[in-house]
Structure 1
């Protein structure tokens, strides 16, 4: 095997740096590789705004490289400036004891919808063990909130430690991942999905889950919640 020259090695290294791939993301061999993009720069709230509101975001801050909802500051959920349809979304998160949050997608901004959850499906994030009231299974971390339950692959880190989650939405095929394991999958808008919606929490919310594109939301629900390494790849 011929030895590579110093110049050749330098060119290879520069070429590798040209591909922005987030930490812990697999490199595929597909000829149609899409670029991962960061939704949080670790320093500012650029690219985010309060749901249904303009102006400065005051109830979320940046703390030690994390996007943080401190709790106790009323202001509501934050959402991305850009809308997304089909995507793979990955992020790291941790919560304090008794906290409740979530990541929602296909959220529609309109004054007739006071809450992001009225239109956007939610990857639930909550203190399963420390919540002051009894939680139903459909309310626990990793759920497609009030619709689909996680399987036995669900393994949570203790409160105060970082978890990694992922949502894949691709033309109605949906997956939730937690700490490297797929914990649920379902098909949006099929017969089972419609039955769950008609019989459950969203039966009186006709617009829930119907949008095929929308903004991504981080939920503000009291207590301290941390997010970082928020990456998205459009599919």
Structure 2
């Protein structure tokens, strides 16, 4: 993507030195090339390393996350120290995007996918700022009994899935999250079906937050630009084929 941008910018510079009339169409074409390059899919996790990720408010990724068969897999420790946390966040920050990946949860498991995460020492966990799309074993985890807005694919504690298309624990689910502040829309597509739609800022967003457990959480959902997060909820979970495209 960087190479395409550099070539496009170089072409613009060359065009500007020549006859403006003759090169108007060429310059417009170059601008389109730049736009296309900016909108390319970027791989956030290619299955071979944890490059591009780190522990929230921490350092490089090590155990209990492991690389297995092209996926990053979290294995909860049996002797976990009190207060220990192994949430992952992306090195890069994003504002308007489409995020795609595959996830697989273990039996009875719980995890989540965050966006708009602010990495700051005053926030101990990514969920204090980043809204969450639930990753859950709906059949066995007790949170599924606390309301449909806590089931897999939900905008956690705010918007329930319109359909239940989650695959059983131990199977891979395809996932798409769109967040677009320009049009004030977000959505979740799970296994090819759009199951959740929501505003991402403004009065309607504020109403949703006010009716949720996050109503009095300073900083929650307040950052339009932030990091992508993957939750350590103490259960085994796997993620792979993570890509993102800026909008």
Q: Same fold (TM over 0.5)?
A: yes
The answer as to whether partners of 2:66 and 2:74 remain within 8 angstroms in 1 is: yes
Q: Does 1:196 align with 2:208?
A: yes
Point out the structure with max Rg over C-alpha. 2
Aligned twin of 2:155:
144
Aligned twin of 2:187:
175
Q: Structure 2, unaligned stretches of length 5 or more?
A: 1-31
* Residues 4-54 of structure 1: per-residue CA shift (max 9 Å, x gap): xxxxxxxxxxxxxxxxxxxxxxxxxx9854211111121111111000112
* Equivalent-residue separation in structure 2 for 1:198 and 1:113 (angstroms): 20
Match for residue 77 of structure 1 among 79, 83, 87: 87
- Alpha-carbon shift at residue 64 of structure 1 (Å): 1.5
The answer as to whether partners of 2:53 and 2:61 remain within 8 angstroms in 1 is: no
The count of corresponding residues between Structure 1 and Structure 2 is 205
RMSD between aligned residues: 1.7
Aligned twin of 1:21:
none
* Equivalent-residue separation in structure 1 for 2:142 and 2:197 (angstroms): 29
Aligned twin of 1:60:
65
* Equivalent-residue separation in structure 2 for 1:106 and 1:215 (angstroms): 5
Aligned twin of 1:231:
243
Q: Structure 1, unaligned stretches of length 5 or more?
A: 1-29
Give the structure-2-normalised TM-score. 0.78
The answer as to whether partners of 1:128 and 1:135 remain within 8 angstroms in 2 is: no
Match for residue 224 of structure 2 among 212, 224, 228: 212
Aligned twin of 1:131:
141
* Equivalent-residue separation in structure 2 for 1:131 and 1:174 (angstroms): 26
Give the structure-1-normalised TM-score. 0.82
* Secondary structure class of the residue paired with 2:179: strand
* Equivalent-residue separation in structure 2 for 1:98 and 1:217 (angstroms): 21
* Equivalent-residue separation in structure 1 for 2:241 and 2:134 (angstroms): 18
* Residues 141-168 of structure 1: per-residue CA shift (max 9 Å, x gap): 111111111112x311111111001100
- Alpha-carbon shift at residue 55 of structure 1 (Å): 4.1
Q: Does 1:98 align with 2:103?
A: no
- Alpha-carbon shift at residue 132 of structure 1 (Å): 4.2
* Equivalent-residue separation in structure 2 for 1:144 and 1:59 (angstroms): 27
Q: Does 1:161 align with 2:171?
A: yes
Q: Which has the higher helix share?
A: 2
